[in-house]
Structure 1
Amino acid sequence: MPRHPSPFRQAVCGVDEAGRGPLAGPVVVAAVILPRDHRIDGIADSKVLSPAVRERLFEIIVREAMVSTVVVGAARIDAMNIRMATLWGMRRAIAALPQAPTVALIDGRDLPPGVVTKCRALVDGDARSTAIGAASIVAKVTRDRLMTRLALSCPGYGFERHKGYATAEHRAALAALGASIHHRRSFAPVRAALEAHASAEREAAA
């Protein structure tokens, strides 16, 4: 009986993240291996796609491709710093794929340490590589959904709208409410809010 080649043979893995810049919430890293000769039209850098298009492509990618995601929480970001925490997540996302990729294409300039798979960094990779573009979509949609859920358990900050980014609305809420458990205390605006609240409490107690 003839053997049929795997659609994932000579597998190229794309790796990207969402959420390096926000003041709150996790970084989400995704690794995606698209099938050879895939027919998923419209994959591009998630930042240039509308939310509706991202959602549609997300459902197709997770159904047709090999996908892994890693959520790197605020506590680890504070402990490791944002760069190292992101690279930690990338290494774990590659390792979590059901098949070891032949090569991993990483969006950006940095390569995660300790990865056995051959890796290559691509600046603006989410616009240059379909596999990285697919990973950017998975990471972005996954993180947006997580932030919407966090908004339900941590109301008042508007996470469902700004997704933790440093918008005027978010900064105003941070000044009024202080930092939540989901805020990155190592980030300067959050540190400033914590110091302001601590100073106000000392003045009130004096």
Structure 2
Amino acid sequence: MVVEKSGTWYDRVSGVGETKWQEMLDHGEDIQAESSDNKTSLPNEMEKRVDAIKSMLESMNHGVMEIISAYDIAWVGLVEAEESIMGSTDSGVSNFSKPQFSECLRWIADDQLPDGSWGDPEIFVAHDRIINTLACIVALRKWDLYPDKCQMGISFLKENFHRLEDDDEENMLSGFEVVFPMILEMAQKMEIYVREDSPVLQDIYAKRNLKLTR
């Protein structure tokens, strides 16, 4: 079965693509440095994105979360609170770093499936489950939250990473070959288990490199 993905929630909120994961984190570091040096408020662009996300989260009790992927929720869970950024020290490191959208992290913890993964509970598609699971682990680990949930997710990855090799390539979501290696690198920096010797992973990296050189 082919799984189609028309676009992520973040695409709809901010008008940019999935590859903004790392850019968002880098942007946060730039904002911290700028705030420390100039004592300025958040740039208008960031304020607009935060306001847009807040607006979406206000609809959580109206069924919106049911149509948003765990990957998207994890992305939003990485956003650092405005007061954390504004409270940066001279070194650019926040004294009281905390998430802007803690409700996303609670959602991640509550939405974990019994096997330790995140994703569509009705259909098992390896590409979908693994990228969602890794993204959620990264989001929780960033804030050192729910270590038991993280460990369950890591165990799932260890037991199921090989299933990428058997999954139909047509099930690979749009941009997977670019986004997945990026999240893997983030996970490695957090010392999260990643199977680096997998042939399918090497193939994904090759496709990523090809796409980026076009």
Q: TM-score range by the shorter chain?
A: under 0.3
TM-score, normalising length: structure 1: 0.24
Higher helix fraction (1 or 2): 2
Structure with the greater alpha carbon radius of gyration: 1
Higher strand fraction (1 or 2): 1
